[in-house]
Structure 1
């Protein structure tokens, strides 16, 4: 795993700018929601889950077809990524959730997005990172990427 990227994870001030426009420059057009209730409704929706799952599947399928030797390392990197998340993300996000009386489902969404970013970053030499790394920039900005408005891949990212 890339130590510079792991260092970026440690510097995230989780959700510090929710409700404000993201400061990060992201490649997606985006729209915003104004509160946690609306953000959670989006992030817990089936449509958002389907999009993120599709993007994850596209990366693994691409690697399987085009870089089979690197693909065989997928599970090893996924485990390392989950360990990093458990150590660096879960405690901070859990504290935020508890302090703000937010559901644990939010933590699951964050973990999924960050593992996606870790995997895209890890395989960046095989395929240009795109979706999850853009979500990562939103997290770095202190915001929460929570859904998609419009027909994927057209449309806009929803950010809180």
Structure 2
């Protein structure tokens, strides 16, 4: 997992940080991105035990150039709010 954290901190976070408009709280947004990315990795590390679901969906939101903001209802019901 340490290698994943280094990759996230050295590759993903700088890209997100450079694209983040100044009106956003950068520390908060970047900590959310770090959290989501680490949990995406964890989903895939343990995929042989539990099929990836939530954070893979969150990754797809980021990959499409959007930001996941909120989950409405209790998982797996409800919907993801996206900015």
Report which structure shows greater RCO (CA 8 Å, sep ≥6): 1
Q: Does residue 129 of the first structure (1) align with residue 52 of the second (2)?
A: yes
TM-score (normalizing by structure 2): 0.86
1:3-152 pair list within 5 angstroms: 77=1, 79-97=2-20, 100-101=21-22, 102-104=24-26, 105-150=28-73, 152=74
Q: Distance in 2 between matches of 1:90 and 1:147?
A: 20
Runs of 4+ that moved beyond 2 A: none
Higher Rg of the two aligned structures: 1
Q: Provide the secondary structure at the position in 2 that maps to 1:89.
A: helix
Q: Over aligned residue pairs, what C-alpha RMSD do you find?
A: 1.2
Q: Distance in 1 between matches of 2:25 and 2:7?
A: 22
Aligned length: 80
Give 1:126 shift: 2.1
Q: Distance in 2 between matches of 1:119 and 1:90?
A: 18
Q: Distance in 1 between matches of 2:8 and 2:50?
A: 22
Q: Provide the secondary structure at the position in 1 that maps to 2:80.
A: strand
Residue matched to 1:157: 80
Instruction: Give unmatched runs, 5+ long, in structure 1.
Output: 1-76
Q: Distance in 2 between matches of 1:135 and 1:89?
A: 15
Instruction: Give unmatched runs, 5+ long, in structure 2.
Output: none
Give 1:88 shift: 1.2
